[in-house]
């Protein structure tokens, strides 16, 4: 057993953003936990270790006063444990019930997808980031939260600024400034609709929060909406793009899904395993504890790299490949344990049952552009930031 967490000083932050997977492989092979100087954080990268951690919130706490999420968004339920976490989740639960998703959200989301795809279809080419995935994620989240209608770009900008602030481990002052401004703008948008949701209960998240727990402080409502804007827009946006990229890059697998539509859910699960939209989140070690032969000291700040764990070759065969036919195995793209993503079923509906099938059905011979390759970036949050495609008109 070792009590010293190894330190790595030769990793450039740019390399983490461009392609973190060789770095993750190195860290997995090196130790259960490794301090990466450029990230200013001790990273845990192995599947079994992260699974163990997520099943023990008493030892590995999400409640972390120095978390960047708390700094940027406030004390959200995602950074709480036990009863406090449960209260926050229960407050939004009505918006995420299976019957609500099926009967209320599915028709609305289908209409949004139809409108976006119909609008871009005559062009014959587009970058699906800005033409489909970002507006789809933004407009659906706007509906779910219960904001007044606004340009989709505004909510997308807030989300990007908030998640960049939450992942600002390099302490960039401009990133922090934009994140704090986005937070103030979100507060104003919430204030503008509070009275309407109080007097007219409805399936929106804000209505659920206000009416399920009238005693919830406004600070908690603001913080929880901000964390939902971060992950709730980023995750489905990047899942849409990753699913499309994976299938277009593997024509035989694309054909399999088109011939057998029942494979769409498996294709989505493989996409978010392959490139996990939310790739890392923090925890705090509450007591000295042993993890796979290494002693982690009390109060150590760790980052759970689920993007690395989902490519752990001790868990997944040929983990760097996109393969929708791989044996069914659980992954960590939606988290695990008490903090399992509340929006998982909404994402599975939106991406795997609405947008993916509709896109390939309506855009004939959808294909990547040889002259404009896709661009994938990030490590705390990762996904295609540009996905240029063509189709036959």
Which pair of structure tokens corresponds to residue 55? 């099943």
pLDDT at 230: 83
Q: Return contacts of 357-361, CB within 8 angstroms, 24+ apart.
A: 357/261, 357/264, 358/110, 358/113, 358/114, 358/117, 359/117, 359/132, 359/244, 360/247, 360/254, 360/257, 360/258
Mean pLDDT is lowest, of 23-27, 135-139, 161-165, for: 161-165
Q: What is the pLDDT of residues 164-217, one digit of tens each?
A: 887 777 788 899 899 999 999 999 999 999 999 999 999 999 999 888 777 778
Which pair of structure tokens corresponds to residue 235? 């995750």
pLDDT at 4: 86
Q: What percent of the chain has pLDDT over 90?
A: 76
Look at residue 387 and tell me whether its pLDDT is greater than 90.
yes
pLDDT at 165: 86
pLDDT at 340: 72
Look at residue 87 and tell me whether its pLDDT is greater than 90.
no
Please name the residues in contact with 354: beta carbons below 8 A apart, sequence gap of 6 or more.
106, 109, 110, 113
Look at residue 294 and tell me whether its pLDDT is greater than 90.
yes
pLDDT at 216: 79
Mean pLDDT is lowest, of 101-110, 288-297, 328-337, for: 328-337
Look at residue 277 and tell me whether its pLDDT is greater than 90.
yes
pLDDT at 284: 93
Whole-number average pLDDT of the chain: 92
Look at residue 108 and tell me whether its pLDDT is greater than 70.
yes
Look at residue 14 and tell me whether its pLDDT is greater than 70.
yes
Q: What confidence category does residue 334 fall into, taking pLDDT thresholds of 50, 70 and 90?
A: very high
pLDDT at 336: 82
Locus of tokens 């289908």: 110
Q: What confidence category does residue 81 fall into, taking pLDDT thresholds of 50, 70 and 90?
A: low
Q: Report CA-CA distances (Å) from 28 to 25, 222, 348.
A: 5, 37, 29
pLDDT at 339: 67
Q: For the residues 237-249, what does the mean pLDDT come to?
A: 97
pLDDT at 105: 96
pLDDT at 66: 67
Q: What is the pLDDT of residues 56-77, one digit of tens each?
A: 999 999 887 767 777 777 776 6
Mean pLDDT is lowest, of 179-183, 210-214, 292-296, 351-355, for: 210-214
The whole-angstrom distance between residue 313's C-alpha and the CA centroid of its chain comes to: 22
Q: What confidence category does residue 89 fall into, taking pLDDT thresholds of 50, 70 and 90?
A: confident
Domain definitions of the chain by residue range: 7-392
Q: For the residues 295-310, what does the mean pLDDT come to?
A: 96
Locus of tokens 């444990």: 81
Q: What percent of the chain has pLDDT over 70?
A: 95
User: Model pTM greater than 0.85?
Assistant: yes
Look at residue 40 and tell me whether its pLDDT is greater than 70.
yes
Look at residue 3 and tell me whether its pLDDT is greater than 80.
no
Q: What confidence category does residue 239 fall into, taking pLDDT thresholds of 50, 70 and 90?
A: very high
What fold, for 7-392?
Cytochrome p450 (1.10.630)
């Amino acid at each position: 057993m070792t009590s010293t967490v190894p330190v790595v000083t030769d990793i450039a932050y740019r390399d983490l953003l461009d392609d973190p997977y060789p770095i993750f492989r190195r860290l997995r092979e090196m130790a259960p936990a490794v301090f990466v100087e450029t990230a200013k954080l001790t990273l845990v990268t192995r599947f079994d270790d992260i699974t163990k951690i997520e099943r023990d919130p008493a030892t590995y706490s999400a409640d972390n006063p120095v978390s960047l999420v708390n700094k940027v968004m406030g004390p959200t339920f995602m950074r709480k444990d036990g009863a406090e976490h449960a209260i926050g989740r229960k407050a939004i639960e009505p918006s995420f019930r299976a019957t609500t998703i099926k009967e209320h959200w599915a028709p609305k989301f289908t209409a949004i997808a139809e409108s976006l795809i119909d609008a871009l279809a005559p062009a014959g080419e587009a970058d699906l980031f800005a033409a489909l995935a970002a507006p789809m994620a933004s407009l659906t989240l706007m509906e779910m939260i219960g904001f007044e209608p606004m340009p989709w770009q505004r909510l997308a900008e807030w989300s990007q600024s908030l998640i960049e602030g939450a992942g600002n481990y390099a302490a960039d002052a401009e990133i922090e400034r934009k994140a704090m401004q986005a937070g103030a703008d979100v507060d104003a948008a919430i204030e503008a609709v509070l009275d309407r949701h109080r007097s007219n209960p409805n399936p929106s998240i804000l209505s659920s929060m206000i009416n399920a727990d009238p005693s919830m402080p406004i600070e908690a409502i603001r913080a929880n909406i901000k964390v939902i804007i971060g992950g709730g827009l980023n995750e489905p946006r990047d899942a849409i793009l990753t699913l499309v990229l994976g299938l277009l890059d593997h024509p035989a697998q694309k054909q399999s899904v088109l011939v057998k539509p029942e494979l769409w859910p498996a294709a989505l699960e493989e996409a978010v395993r392959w490139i996990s939209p939310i790739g890392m989140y923090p925890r705090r070690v509450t007591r000295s504890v042993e993890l796979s032969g290494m002693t982690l000291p009390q109060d150590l700040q760790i980052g759970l790299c689920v993007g690395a764990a989902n490519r752990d070759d001790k868990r997944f065969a040929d983990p760097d490949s996109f393969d929708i036919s791989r044996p069914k195995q659980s992954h960590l793209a939606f988290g695990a344990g008490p903090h399992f993503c509340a929006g998982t079923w909404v994402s599975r509906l939106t991406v795997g049952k609405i947008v993916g099938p509709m896109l390939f059905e309506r855009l004939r011979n959808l294909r990547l552009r040889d002259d404009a390759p896709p661009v994938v970036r990030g490590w705390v949050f990762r996904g295609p930031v540009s996905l240029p495609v063509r189709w036959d008109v």
